[in-house]
């Protein structure tokens, strides 16, 4: 599952249009209450902004089109899906 902003950015870059991360939010809420959940979501947002900045993407659609650096194994697996 998705656990971090980087996980979300990778999923978008690989073509995902939706994803869920209820478990990490609930864990953060259980550990720190409302403020803990809010801090987790702010960190998530910060990570996504960083991914957009580093790839030169202003939107998730642009992030999905950003150049990818994939290992040969992952590239072959993706090619087989298409």
Q: In this predicted model, what pLDDT tens digit does every residue of 30-78 receive, in sequence order?
A: 999 999 999 999 999 999 999 999 999 999 999 999 988 888 998 898 8
- C-alpha distances out from residue 17 to 23, 28, 34, 60, Å: 19, 24, 27, 9
Least confident of 1-10, 14-23, 68-77: 68-77
* 45, two tokens: 């947002």
Q: In this predicted model, what pLDDT tens digit does every residue of 48-61 receive, in sequence order?
A: 999 999 999 999 99
Three-class DSSP category at 16:
coil
Phi, psi of 68 (to 5 degrees): -115, 150
């Amino acid at each position: 599952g998705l656990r971090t902003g980087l996980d979300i950015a990778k999923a978008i870059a690989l073509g995902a249009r939706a994803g869920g991360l209820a478990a990490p939010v609930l864990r953060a809420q259980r550990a720190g209450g409302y403020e803990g959940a809010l801090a987790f979501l702010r960190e998530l947002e910060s990570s996504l902004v960083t991914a957009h900045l580093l790839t030169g993407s202003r939107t998730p659609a642009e992030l999905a089109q950003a150049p990818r650096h994939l290992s040969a194994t992952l590239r072959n697996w993706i090619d087989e899906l298409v």
